[in-house]
Amino acid sequence: MSHYSITVAWSEEDEMHVAVCPALGGLSALGSTARKAVAELEKTIALALETYEADGWPIPEPDPIPEYSGQFRVRLPRSLHAWLAHEARRQGVSLNGLVTSMLSRAMGAAELEAGNKKLDSKSPIGIVRRARKGTSKQ
């Protein structure tokens, strides 16, 4: 098994699962199931790496899993900042706590809306699910 990230999604056009390796130029393979698509892609990756070596091309590095600090800066209109600050005071919570709560509720609503849809590993919800599980598997 390679150390490259693989994304799997359903292709309506092909009526099959497609597995893609972004680090190798979008190399892809199809399968009747997600597992079969990944297995086919693993074979394709092995052949591609053999070709890279045989032709003397540099072998691309696997994509690292991004790490998140839990902090980011947001620029917003002064009126929204004022409303958020007022609402935080009204609720007796910090501005950070209020915004975190609001974002968490929005994320929950997005997950409910997504329902049982298959989410690829690069979708915001797919990334959050992997982060919650503490796993890098895709």
What secondary structure letter does DSSP report for 70? S
Could you tell me which residues come within 8 angstroms of residue 63 by beta carbon, excluding any fewer than 6 positions away?
Answer: 4, 5, 22, 23
DSSP codes of every residue in 45-65 = HHHHHHHHHHTTPPPPPPPPP
Sequence spans of domains, the chain:
7-54, 78-133
pTM value > 0.75 = no
Contact, 7 vs 138, CB < 8 A?
Answer: yes
| H/E segment holding residue 7 | strand 7-11
Each residue's pLDDT expressed in tens, for the chain with a length of 138 residues = 678 999 999 999 999 999 999 999 999 999 999 999 999 999 999 999 999 999 999 999 988 888 889 999 999 999 999 999 999 999 999 999 999 999 999 988 888 877 645 545 555 555 555 555 555 444
